[in-house]
Structure 1
């Protein structure tokens, strides 16, 4: 019994460390982008953010725990619409909305949304910065 409890505590501690690292990375990227770029027009951002959130919450399970949604296309289109100098910040903040899924809310999960936040923000920022190079 004691071994199992210790193993569970160690697994929980490892999850906390990983989620904290991902979240810290996501926050650092957002701060860096906020200093470097300007935010896109709020009306345009809200339109794309609403579409992003809508499609993200209605993703389809393709096979065992693999969910697919058209949010990548919304992000790419938004990056082009936002243009150079605001695409990365706009898309990264939109991606932060996708960190929490309906399943996370139903199951009251904490670690996965926190880790997802960091991963989504960093990858969205990287994608947008690469796309900005082609928009210049």
Structure 2
């Protein structure tokens, strides 16, 4: 049993180290891509400002670029607010489903007392759990079928 646990821990550590390398790689790649996207965005804003400046003047160009940035920011805020609202509704629905699926108080009390029962009398607890599993399996139709 000890060898199996050691092997499982070894596999877990190998997986963790490869996951850490993968996360580092994704973080560095995302950072580099972010710098390039930011550079492209600044170049796009400057090109827009230069184009509008040749058509309407420097002040109008600054106002157009500022208005476009403000409109973009408002759209992003609206989308984030809608997504947050949807997430909040999903969380509330999930909490309501969990509250409705909670076991009755008798079952909850039995599950709460199970560790102390196992500490006080492990054999009796094992017999009780196995008989409960047997009754549950028979009620679900598992096990031998009666001869026809």
TM-score by length of 1: 0.30
TM-score by length of 2: 0.28
The structure with higher relative contact order (CA 8 Å, sep 6+) is 1
More helix by share: 2
More strand by share: 1
